[in-house]
Amino acid sequence: MKKRLSILMLLLVAGLLLLAACGGDNSVDSDETDTTVTDNTTDEKPSEPVTLTFYSEDGEEKSFDDPIAQKITEATGVKLDIQYPVGGNDETIPLMIAGGEYPDLIFAKGDIGILIEAGGVLKLDDLIEERGDNIKAMYGDQLDRLRNSLDDPGIYTVGTAGVHNELLETSGTFQIQLEVLRELGYPEITTLEEFEDAISTYYEMYPEINGEPTLPLSLLGSDWRWLITVGNPAGFAGGFPDDGQWSVDTNTGETVYKFLEPEYREYFKWLNGMNAKGLLDPESFTHTYDTYISKISSGRVLSVADQDWNLTDARFALIDADMEERTYAPLPVTLGEEYVHQGLKDYGFTGGWGIAISSTTEHPELAFDFLDWMASEEAQILVNWGIEGEHYEIVDGQRVLFDEVRERMNTDANFSKETGVGYYLHPFPRWGTGAVDSNGQSITTDTREQIVEDQLDVEKEVLAEYGMELWIDWFPQQNELEISNHGAAYNFTIPAGSDIQIIQQRADDITEQRITQAILADPEDFDDLWDAMLDELEAAEVSKLNEEMTKLTQNVLELWSGNVE
């Protein structure tokens, strides 16, 4: 998440506190944390469960007491006391550093860099070598992607992304109601022009749905989701992969702040036209998340540009209301036929973010053993499939979910939270959707055959009309796309207090404000507003930002080459 510049003051305070503590018994030197680990635990799990505190930047309040959590505790002797940001507070990590007190486990996302700088987390290299058999087996030849930097190639985190991924679904693309496709006779929609024609035609036919005004396209640009419903779809339309705020040449490492690319200008000029024509929800930059989801749940929003995980509640609400035809189909929409949609791109294991063990924990080895067990085959089957006899059975040597469990998975928004099945995948170590266990069975419940079986009847109907089995069949296939050598740039660990961190924050503030203004402006003013934004970015030293980010990307390419000691 973006950080306000006030964080720098917090870091200054943190630095002073750490200096003041240097002479005390509780001081932590980040260069020594991998060699000064002490613990009262042994290789055996404790006789009584030990509670480890765990701060996670992602998720919602939930107690660690569901059936899967209980099984995890039985296997590891660990209970988790999970804490989350309060009210979306993005300064939690800097405040931890300032106070010098940390939970046992920390998922800090992009703030891992400042934790490492402050000596707040342990280097895990020795623990991995001595007792990390499951972690070594999981990451294999991609273990180097866990390393921090060329200057400090130590490993401080594990987890977050799957190691072996086979994309069977897309997310973050334009999505259109199945009913629109049915009503219009199943048109081909692969360009913005075709997309606009489809929703505008349906809008003219049905200006109201269920007694309320139809909304051809709705976005959520009033909070941090601006990034995923406004900023990111522009890149997908321009044929760019998802590298966060960056456009990256994965071979040379050249990296550019993405909003400088001409394709972004072209996309937002199109969106400006959509607004001028009355095809964009006028509240797209003011309504709350709850209002946005409520609109979609009413069935009157014809299209969105959003991540599937952000739409889960709305999808289940539509199904519950017998409006399955108002759920969405993902589209491989680009600016034009000359662009190639990157929705199925293979990023490999993206590295970067993950779960760290704090330098102040009283149970470093137990915490590590817990993470290592989460990487085991036993754990991966448990968190993906649930408990044998309760959630699945073995039929002819194969795991098969009970029908009622599969039904709840597909229709009940609370299923995962209540049962724990599927809940403890992120941000823990995970094998990924393309992995198989020692018996050759899929480690996840999502196989191509199972996804086909789980589709709504109306989805199967629409797909059949297009001669497809899955929505991914509509997209350029993974083997047609260039493999990413750098993973995904949004997962890079940005050095604390670096020019990248400071200038990017400034640039992000500029682009979010100015692009929103340009979208909502009179079309004749768009080009002037865009040019003014580019001038602001140049004044904010975006050229220096590009230089520094290019160096960082090139460092990542070297770090991941396998030649760094």
Whether 6-158+355-382 shares its CATH topology with 174-246+256-347+453-476 is answered: yes
For residue 473, pLDDT beyond 60: yes
Rounded-to-integer distance, Cα 328 and Cα 319, Å: 11
- In the numeric block, which tokens belong to residue 57? 């930047």
How high does pLDDT run on average in the chain? 90
**Cα separation of 164 and 139, whole Å?**
9
Q: What is the pLDDT of residues 16-44, one digit of tens each?
A: 333 333 333 333 333 333 333 334 444 56
What pLDDT, in 10s, does the model give residues 420-463?
Answer: 999 999 999 999 988 999 999 999 998 888 899 889 999 999 99
Domain boundaries, the chain: 6-158+355-382, 174-246+256-347+453-476, 491-559
Instruction: Report the percent of the chain where pLDDT is more than 70.
Output: 91
pTM value is: 0.81
Which of 81-90, 149-158, 343-352 comes out lowest in average pLDDT? 81-90
The answer to whether the CB of 272 falls within 8 A of the CB of 518 is yes
- Among 63, 49, 52, residue whose Cα is nearest residue 371: 52
Q: Which CATH fold would you assign to the domain 174-246+256-347+453-476?
A: D-Maltodextrin-Binding Protein; domain 2 (3.40.190)
8 Å CB contact between 333 and 173: yes
Q: What Rg do the C-alpha atoms of the chain give, in angstroms?
A: 24
Question: What does the alpha-carbon distance between residue 110 and residue 9 come to, in Å, rounded to a whole number?
Answer: 18
Torsion of CA 115, 38, 68, 111, to 10 degrees: 0
**HEC profile for 201-236?**
HHHHHCCEECCEECECEECCCCCCCHHHHHHHHHHH
Mean pLDDT computed over 192-215: 98
Instruction: Round to whole Å and give the CA distance between 186 and 28.
Output: 63
State residue 510 phi and psi, 5-degree precision: -65, -50
The CATH number fitting domain 6-158+355-382, selected from 3.40.50.1360, 2.40.50.100, 2.40.160.20, 3.40.190.10:
3.40.190.10
pLDDT at 165 over 90: no
CB burial string 65-83: b at 16+ within 10 A, e below: ebbbbebbbebbbbbbebe
Structure confidence by residue, pLDDT tens digits, 264-303: 999 999 999 999 999 999 999 999 999 999 999 999 999 9
Q: Using the predicted structure, report yes or no on whether residue 2 has a pLDDT greater than 90.
A: no
